[in-house]
């Protein structure tokens, strides 16, 4: 036995050795890549230096009153340079300045100069880089930990690998009420999706967003299967053990999210939200791969053959989007090494990609004028209104050359989707039957309540009066208190019709009122913008099919714009997502929802920086180290997939590290990183080990304001040392 263990352990060691060797080889390769990248960066830097006039060398005044870039609470740090640097401000620039903002594709000349990094005449004290006190610290780090302790950024990652070409694009529309997927093979025009619920007499393009786990929190069922199984268990009184979650997508809306956030199941017990979401996505992934096999004579597909496009509401926070991205990774849609296989698209954005290429016949009524499709007419501006179960999401696009899209207005929305009508109905029924009766029904007959709500949601398809089956148990509980017809005698908008609840057309319309007003206010806000010239309004999503919603939008806005609804309105999102996966650059630019920036230091101004954190450099210069330097302003247009580059150089001659802290705010302008509304979303520290060039050393900071994730990479030009960080919007 011991011999066996020995052999086994040896075997494990050998395996580990092999793994280590492989890793070593990978690292060597990575090193070679970095070296070549480094030489490219050097030549880019040289290009910039050649482009710029000779810098003027100046020492910063020792006690400057002027506004200047500077670091905080540490030795030295990335120092901001005013973008609109005037001659005056240049006079007071410290030696370390943000030199230039450039984009990856073309170097943009900005109105500030590359300052000299030669010895500027100051004589900073000698510091021992190994002494923690002489390390840099993050400006907002109130505990003032030496930087040595925070050299590994929150989420360091290796540079992206070149993606394999995907065989198939798979879109997943994880809806509040219904979830579905579609897929399209590369080169084929056809987009396919399964039909759901056939075994229960249904035939829908999406299945209810409902997931069931057993008492040990192991996944059991999703969609119609989950509902049916749960209902059967309820009859057997077994349901209390099970964990059922339905309509849970909105749990990610408007909440402080972290990876261990919990969600409450129908049985009142809690489970990790990440698990609920990732198991749901895993179910969709497995179903999709299985279905694709069936469409291709049994060819087996794996998740890595696909580009996955996950749609999320436009109004979701960055944290919620990140939560979904991490859930998708946990579900095995993508691996951490190939994150580019996952695209997170906004629901109205995906729908826009679908609508722009639809021919006239693709719309239910109304007509496209002139061209065959919208995408053939550059300059056409249109609004997409996704009316889902949970949210109303809006985007405004303009067609540009090549049928690509440019976002014209920051995406907007609210939580006034179709389920608002359901909630109003539930509240109304509670009022009719009294709280006492309804609460008893809700507590003891959850599956019957679910059935009642489902029956009502079908009624939303109709105009005028509708009949909803009243659950038998509700009738029973109610009749113990009063004669059943008496409940209905108090309201003229509702009647009792032998076991059914008759709602008047006026009442049904009334139940839609909150949603319709919610849609109106969002649309009005956009349409009043004088710079926009919106020609079409596309209504998509299941709730767009509601006669009340449809008629309201046409009556209210039909005189200004042409209102069109695609034939497959509920599938516009997921089908558009498939197309998105085939051409991820289809949306050329987006409007930033936040202002993004970094922490920088400015020369300490006794008035302006009164009460603010001060940092005194080794050479005695006073800085305010909580200043905010804006990189992207809210409402600014950000080109797709273009990285912005910023160049910094050393403040101290013996500086061995350069820290960066990234922030975002909903404000359009901000001055300090410690002001209200400012959120830290990441930090990194790049080593600058070669100090022989003194201050004449540069770090290139590259930031990609991508949509699926936002990442920053800092590279020390002299040594090629590089550090990257993905911005983390979650609180833990």
Rounded least distance, CB 497 to Mg ion, Å:
34
Binding mask 257-296 toward ligand ATP (x if CB under 6 A, else -) reads: ----------------------------------------
Separation CA 208–CA 178 (nearest Å): 4
Separation CA 610–CA 10 (nearest Å): 65
Residue 94 binding target from Mg ion, ligand ATP, none, CB below 5 to 8 Å by type? none
Residue 562 binding target from ligand ATP, Mg ion, none, CB below 5 to 8 Å by type? none
Separation CA 521–CA 515 (nearest Å): 10
* Binding residue (CB under 5 A) for Mg ion from 95, 175, 446, 581: 175
- Residue 665 gets the label, from left (phi > 0), alpha (psi -120 to 50) or beta, of beta
Cβ proximity to ligand ATP, 320 vs 631, nearer residue: 320
Q: Residue 221 forms beta bridges with which residues? A: 212
Rounded least distance, CB 634 to ligand ATP, Å:
25
Residue 171 binding target from ligand ATP, Mg ion, none, CB below 5 to 8 Å by type? none
- Does 570 participate in binding ligand ATP (rule CB under 6 A)? yes
Q: What is the largest CA-CA distance in the chain?
A: 96
Rounded least distance, CB 260 to ligand ATP, Å:
24
Residue 96 binding target from ligand ATP, Mg ion, none, CB below 5 to 8 Å by type? none
- Closest-CA residue to 339 (of 33, 729, 710, 731): 710
Stretch near ligand ATP under the rule CB under 6 A, chosen from 103-111, 128-136, 455-463, 481-489: 455-463
Residue 460 binding target from Mg ion, ligand ATP, none, CB below 5 to 8 Å by type? ligand ATP
Beta strands in 604-708 (DSSP E): 614-616, 622-632, 637-639, 643-649, 657-665, 679-687, 698-704
Separation CA 570–CA 543 (nearest Å): 8
Residue 461 binding target from Mg ion, ligand ATP, none, CB below 5 to 8 Å by type? ligand ATP
Stretch near ligand ATP under the rule CB under 6 A, chosen from 18-26, 57-65, 384-392, 695-703: 384-392
Residues 6+ positions from 274 with CB-CB distance below 8 Å = 259, 260, 261, 323, 326, 327, 330
- Does 206 participate in binding ligand ATP (rule CB under 6 A)? yes
Binding mask 613-652 toward ligand ATP (x if CB under 6 A, else -) reads: ----------------------------------------
Stretch near ligand ATP under the rule CB under 6 A, chosen from 66-74, 401-409, 456-464, 592-600: 456-464
Residue 703 has which token pair? 């930031």
Residue 85 binding target from Mg ion, ligand ATP, none, CB below 5 to 8 Å by type? none
Residue 713 binding target from Mg ion, ligand ATP, none, CB below 5 to 8 Å by type? none
The burial class, CB within 10 Å (0-12 / 13-18 / 19+), for 460 is buried
- Closest-CA residue to 505 (of 441, 472, 551, 470): 551
Looking at residues 413 to 432 of the shown chain, list those that interact with ligand ATP (rule: CB under 6 A): 417-419
Cβ proximity to ligand ATP, 417 vs 694, nearer residue: 417
Residue 673 has which token pair? 């990183």
Q: How many CB atoms lie within 10 A of CB 122?
A: 18
Q: Is the Cβ–Cβ distance between 272 and 163 less than 8 Å?
A: no
- Does 224 participate in binding ligand ATP (rule CB under 6 A)? no
Query: What DSSP line would sit under 32-51, residue for residue?
Result: HHHHHHHHHHHHHHHHHHHH
Residue 507 binding target from ligand ATP, Mg ion, none, CB below 5 to 8 Å by type? none
Looking at residues 372 to 391 of the shown chain, list those that interact with Mg ion (rule: CB under 5 A): 388
Separation CA 239–CA 214 (nearest Å): 9
Looking at residues 529 to 568 of the shown chain, list those that interact with ligand ATP (rule: CB under 6 A): 541-543, 545-546
- Closest-CA residue to 625 (of 646, 608, 600): 600
Residue written as token pair 């300052």: 115
* Binding residue (CB under 6 A) for ligand ATP from 171, 194, 223, 388: 388
- Does 456 participate in binding ligand ATP (rule CB under 6 A)? no
Cβ proximity to ligand ATP, 100 vs 206, nearer residue: 206
* Binding residue (CB under 6 A) for ligand ATP from 60, 223, 389, 446: 389
Residue 178 binding target from ligand ATP, Mg ion, none, CB below 5 to 8 Å by type? ligand ATP
Q: How many CB atoms lie within 10 A of CB 46?
A: 11
**Rg (the chain; Cα; Å):** 30
Separation CA 620–CA 304 (nearest Å): 56
Separation CA 488–CA 500 (nearest Å): 11
Separation CA 642–CA 700 (nearest Å): 15
Rounded least distance, CB 184 to ligand ATP, Å:
20
Rounded least distance, CB 285 to Mg ion, Å:
19
* Binding residue (CB under 6 A) for ligand ATP from 77, 249, 409, 512: 249
The burial class, CB within 10 Å (0-12 / 13-18 / 19+), for 481 is middle
Q: Is the Cβ–Cβ distance between 308 and 343 less than 8 Å?
A: yes
Binding mask 126-165 toward ligand ATP (x if CB under 6 A, else -) reads: ----------------------------------------
- Does 69 participate in binding ligand ATP (rule CB under 6 A)? no
Rounded least distance, CB 347 to Mg ion, Å:
5
Q: Render the burial of 653-662: b for 16+ CB within 10 Å, e for the rest.
A: bbbbbbbbbb
Rounded least distance, CB 229 to ligand ATP, Å:
21
Q: Is the Cβ–Cβ distance between 681 and 729 less than 8 Å?
A: yes
The DSSP code for 614 is E
Stretch near ligand ATP under the rule CB under 6 A, chosen from 49-57, 61-69, 172-180, 220-228: 172-180
Rounded least distance, CB 183 to ligand ATP, Å:
18
| Total residues in contact with ligand ATP, by rule CB under 6 A | 25
Separation CA 568–CA 699 (nearest Å): 51
Rounded least distance, CB 193 to Mg ion, Å:
14
Cβ proximity to ligand ATP, 542 vs 694, nearer residue: 542
Cβ proximity to ligand ATP, 441 vs 543, nearer residue: 543
Separation CA 323–CA 278 (nearest Å): 10
Cβ proximity to ligand ATP, 413 vs 597, nearer residue: 413
* Binding residue (CB under 6 A) for ligand ATP from 195, 232, 240, 461: 461
Residues that bind ligand ATP (CB under 6 A): 173, 175-178, 206, 249, 313, 347, 388-391, 417-419, 457, 460-461, 541-543, 545-546, 570
Residues that bind Mg ion (CB under 5 A): 175, 388
């Amino acid at each position: 036995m011991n011999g066996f263990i020995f052999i086994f352990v040896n075997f494990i060691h050998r395996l580990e050795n092999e793994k280590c060797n492989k890793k070593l080889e990978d690292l060597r390769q990575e090193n070679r890549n970095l070296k070549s990248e480094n030489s490219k960066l050097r030549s880019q830097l040289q290009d910039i230096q050649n482009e710029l006039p000779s810098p003027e060398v100046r020492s910063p005044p020792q006690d400057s009153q002027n506004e200047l870039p500077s670091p905080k609470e540490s030795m030295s740090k990335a120092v901001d340079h005013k973008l609109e640097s005037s001659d005056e401000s240049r006079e007071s620039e410290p030696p370390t300045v943000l030199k230039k903002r450039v984009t990856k594709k073309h170097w943009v000349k900005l109105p500030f100069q590359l300052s000299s990094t030669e010895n500027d005449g100051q004589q900073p004290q000698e510091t021992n880089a190994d002494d923690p006190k002489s390390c840099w610290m993050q400006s907002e780090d109130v505990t003032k930990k030496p930087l040595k302790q925070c050299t590994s950024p929150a989420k360091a990652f290796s540079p992206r690998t070149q993606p394999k070409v995907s065989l198939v694009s798979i879109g997943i529309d994880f809806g509040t009420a219904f979830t579905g997927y579609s897929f399209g093979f590369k080169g084929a025009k056809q987009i396919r999706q399964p039909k759901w619920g056939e075994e229960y007499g249904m035939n829908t393009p999406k299945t209810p967003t409902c997931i069931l786990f057993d008492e040990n929190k192991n996944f059991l069922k999703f969609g119609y299967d989950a509902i049916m199984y749960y209902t059967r268990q309820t009859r057997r009184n077994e349901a209390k053990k099970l964990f059922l979650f339905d309509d849970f997508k909105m749990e990610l809306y408007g909440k402080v999210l972290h990876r261990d956030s919990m969600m409450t199941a129908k049985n009142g017990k809690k489970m990790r939200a990440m698990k609920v979401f990732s198991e749901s996505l895993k179910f969709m992934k497995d179903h999709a791969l299985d279905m694709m096999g069936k469409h291709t004579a049994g060819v087996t597909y794996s998740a890595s053959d696909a580009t996955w496009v996950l749609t999320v509401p436009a109004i979701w926070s960055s944290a919620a989007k990140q939560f979904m991205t991490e859930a998708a990774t946990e579900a095995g849609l993508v691996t951490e090494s190939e994150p580019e296989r996952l695209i997170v698209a906004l629901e109205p954005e995906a729908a826009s990609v679908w609508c722009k290429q639809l021919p006239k016949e693709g719309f239910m009524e109304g007509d496209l004028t002139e061209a065959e499709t919208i995408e053939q007419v550059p300059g056409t501006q249109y609004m997409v209104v996704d009316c889902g179960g949970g949210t109303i999401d809006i985007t405004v696009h303009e067609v540009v050359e090549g049928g690509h899209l440019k976002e014209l207005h920051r995406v907007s929305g609210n939580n006034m989707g179709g389920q608002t009508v359901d909630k109003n109905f539930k509240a109304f029924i509670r009022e009719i039957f009294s709280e006492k009766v309804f609460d008893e029904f809700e507590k003891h007959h959850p599956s019957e309540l679910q059935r009642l709500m489902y029956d009502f949601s079908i009624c939303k398809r109709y105009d005028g009066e509708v009949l909803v089956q009243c659950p038998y148990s509700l009738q029973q509980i109610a009749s113990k208190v009063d004669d059943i017809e008496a409940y209905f005698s108090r309201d003229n908008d509702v009647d009792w019709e032998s076991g059914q609840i008759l709602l008047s057309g006026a009442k049904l319309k009334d139940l839609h009122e909150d949603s319709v007003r919610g849609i109106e206010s969002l649309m009005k806000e956009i349409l009043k913008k004088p710079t926009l010239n919106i020609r079409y309004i596309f209504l998509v999503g299941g709730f767009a099919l509601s006669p009340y919603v449809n008629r309201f939008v046409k009556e209210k806005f039909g005189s200004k714009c042409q209102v069109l609804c695609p034939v497959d309105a509920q599938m516009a999102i997921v089908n558009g997502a498939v197309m998105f996966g085939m051409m991820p650059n289809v949306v050329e630019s987006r409007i930033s929802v936040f202002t993004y920036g970094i922490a920088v230091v400015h020369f300490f101004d006794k008035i302006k920086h009164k009460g603010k954190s001060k940092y005194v450099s080794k050479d005695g210069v006073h800085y305010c180290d909580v200043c905010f330097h804006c990189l992207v302003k809210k409402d600014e247009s950000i080109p797709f997939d273009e990285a912005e580059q910023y160049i910094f150089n050393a403040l101290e001659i013996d500086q061995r590290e350069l820290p960066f802290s990234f922030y975002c705010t909903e404000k359009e302008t901000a001055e300090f990183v410690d002001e209200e509304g400012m959120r830290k979303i990441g930090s990194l520290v790049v080593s600058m080990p070669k100090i022989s060039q003194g201050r004449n050393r540069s770090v290139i900071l590259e930031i990609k304001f991508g949509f699926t994730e936002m990442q920053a990479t800092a590279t020390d030009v002299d040594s090629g040392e590089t550090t990257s960080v993905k911005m983390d919007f979650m609180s833990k």
